Structure 1
Amino acid sequence: MKAIFLEAIGKPFTLIDKEKPTAGPGEALVQVKAAALNHRDVWIQHGRYFTKEYPAILGSDCAGIVAEIGEGVDETWLGQEVIVDPSSDWGENPRAQSRQFKVLGMPEDGSFAEYVKVRAENLHQKPGHLSFEEAAALPLGGVTAYRAMFTKCNLAEGERVLVTGAGGGVALFAIQFAVAAGAEVWVTSGTDEKIGLAKDMGAKGGVNYKHENWGKELKALAGGFDVIIDSAGGEGFVQLVKLANPGGRIAIYGGTTGMIGQLNPAELFWKQLSIHGSTMGTASDFAQMVKLVDEKEIRPVVDIVYPLEETEAAMRYMEAGKQFGKIIVKVGE
């Protein structure tokens, strides 16, 4: 089979021929039709991920067709169109992942290949309204947004939500999920164009975080927020605390702008705020996320599709940060 190979830290992704894996007991072999990039893949290429086991076949997100099953797996899975939950070994505590928790694509061979071997318990039927490319965009970004929004922040219909950094995959899922849940959604972004695209998705409005007084600007437009979903951290997080309503919940799943600035404790305790760290999700989170996408017929936003052999170019496109939505590699016809 053809696969994308990363030899070592700092090396480019290359196309190789590799022996097709075989499904063992409790496993399934998925013929990959499309896979999606995550920033995790770029971090691994640069040696900035906590796991460092090279050489490797990366890729966490994928959609495809079950081509082979191992002993003990329900035969009805054969030939089914599926998406794969890329996470395993979360552990017994639903509040936080165990030390054994891992994600497909390192240390195990991932989805940037014509076939990927996974645990059968991680298979989910692909929602019928989605293409393979759309379905491949869903797993890590979708479950991260779902857990932050619903499991951690317990979003309710009619509440006002702020999603920072509109343009990234998780942020766009957060916008779509919140709109589908009946919330009033606002965004921040680094370009007015992306704010406009977010409004096309159902957001009520937004502000450019490059403006000097973006927090005051947003406060004047929207008032306060019941739920805030953030990927940036940094000095801007102080503004998010100011923007939170009494009883508000803030979930942070990334830290692209670095260390959080000085917070006034009184703003936290007097407003009874809750700040939640969140990353990825449990098997239950994933199943509930797929159910929401299926029932509400949500379509993931796909920015661009590359052929498998151009995965290195796709990585550089992601690193440039210009995308609005997910970057996909098309593997099979």
Structure 2
Amino acid sequence: MKAVQFEEHGGREVIEYGEFPDPDPDRDEVLVDVKAGALNHLDIWTRKGLPGIDLEMPHIPGSDCAGVVEEVGEDVTRFEEGDRVALSAGVGDNRMDDPTLDPKFHIIGEHVRGVHSEYAAIPEDNLVPVPEGVDWEVAAAAPLVFQTAWRMLIHRGELQAGEDVLVLGASGGVGHAAVQVAAHAGATVYATASTEEKLEYAEEIGADHTINYEEEDFSRAIREETDGAGVDMVVDHVGAATWDESLKSLAKGGRIVTCGATTGPNPDAGLNRMFWNQLSVIGSTMATPEQTEEALELVWDGTFEPEIGEVLPMSETARAHEIIEEREDFGKVVVVPDSEL
């Protein structure tokens, strides 16, 4: 088969698309004929190299895909040949409310070989059914960002109807999912983006107020919009570049929920503001199977709509990385095996 792969960490030049041994599914795995995959920021970080993660090389990236079951292992009971499926990439139990939290929790594509290839052998427990009529691009683009946003806002952040929530980077993968989740929950949604086109899109998917962070400090704009009160929740997956302004945007007793730090993980903590205003910081990663099902049911029925910014052949995955790194487009970037085009 052909697969996206790299043999060392580095810039986009390390990405290749070429021959790779066909996967041989274990007893509890399903061999999937991949029809589409989607990229996330974690693909960029994995390519560059994440501290503490020693990947088997060559590494196949990719934590989102959808396709057709080609073969099932002897112990597989939930799927059979011909079923339509999508990947839910978290392996193990990552629930912070469970004292049996799995210390071996990891993510397919980030810690182990991923799914941006013509075929992928995937554990049965990491697959979700995809209804007929759902486009492959949508099925590939939805799982990671919508389950992440759903758990982050609804289960970890406990967002309530009537609250004010600020979503940073509202046109990106997790950002555009978070706007839709927050609007669905009945919150008043404030959203930031860098261009008028992206701001208009944020309004189309549920934002009530938008802020161009290239033209003004979003914390100042939030104070003006809320008569100095601030918002109840900030969804910050950006990190170091936005942390201080995120804290300034919160009302007393407010909370930040975060699932990532694309601009760096070590901002000034702002402890004085945190304790004085009695703020909470809530971390969240991926979702449980039940939470993933909750979120994806709302994708499959059309309540939530993943935005597909670009569809490229897998042989142009380096270009897909460039689009994400340079923030050239909004929504998800999807890659399709060249053999499917």
Give the alignment's Cα RMSD to 1 decimal.
2.4
Deviation for aligned residue 1:107: 4.6
Match of 1:103 in 2: 107
TM-score, scaled to structure 2: 0.88
Tell me, in whole angstroms, the C-alpha distance in 2 between the residues paired with 1:80 and 1:257: 39
Match of 1:151 in 2: 155
User: What does residue range 215-294 of structure 1 map to in structure 2 within 5 Å?
Assistant: 215-223=219-227, 224-234=230-240, 236-258=242-264, 259-261=266-268, 263=270, 265=272, 267-269=273-275, 271-294=277-300
Match of 1:21 in 2: 23
* Cα distance change, pair 93–225 in 1 and its aligned pair in 2 (3 A): closer
Task: Give the stretch that moved more between structures: 125-134 or 153-162.
Answer: 125-134
* Cα distance change, pair 81–235 in 1 and its aligned pair in 2 (3 A): closer
Deviation for aligned residue 1:181: 2.1
Q: Is the 8 A contact 1:249 1:273 kept in 2?
A: yes
User: What does residue range 52-201 of structure 1 map to in structure 2 within 5 Å?
Assistant: 52-53=54-55, 54-74=57-77, 76-90=79-93, 93-94=96-97, 98-128=102-132, 130-201=134-205
Q: Is the 8 A contact 2:171 2:198 kept in 1?
A: yes
TM-score, scaled to structure 1: 0.90
* Cα distance change, pair 191–144 in 1 and its aligned pair in 2 (3 A): same
Tell me, in whole angstroms, the C-alpha distance in 2 between the residues paired with 1:51 and 1:254: 16
Tell me, in whole angstroms, the C-alpha distance in 2 between the residues paired with 1:161 and 1:308: 36
Q: Is the 8 A contact 2:170 2:178 kept in 1?
A: no
* Cα-to-partner distance string for 1:113-135 (whole Å, 9 max, x where unaligned): 11111111111112455311011
Matched, 1:311 2:317: yes
Letter in 2 for 1:3: A
Deviation for aligned residue 1:169: 0.4
Unaligned runs of 5+ in 2: none
* Cα distance change, pair 9–271 in 1 and its aligned pair in 2 (3 A): closer
Secondary structure of residue in 1 paired with 2:69: strand
Secondary structure of residue in 2 paired with 1:77: coil
Give aligned-pair identity as a percent.
35
* Cα-to-partner distance string for 1:284-321 (whole Å, 9 max, x where unaligned): 33222223323553210110000111112212222212
* Cα distance change, pair 262–317 in 1 and its aligned pair in 2 (3 A): closer
Match of 1:7 in 2: 7
Match of 2:45 in 1: 43
Tell me, in whole angstroms, the C-alpha distance in 2 between the residues paired with 1:100 and 1:262: 28
Q: Is the 8 A contact 2:231 2:251 kept in 1?
A: yes
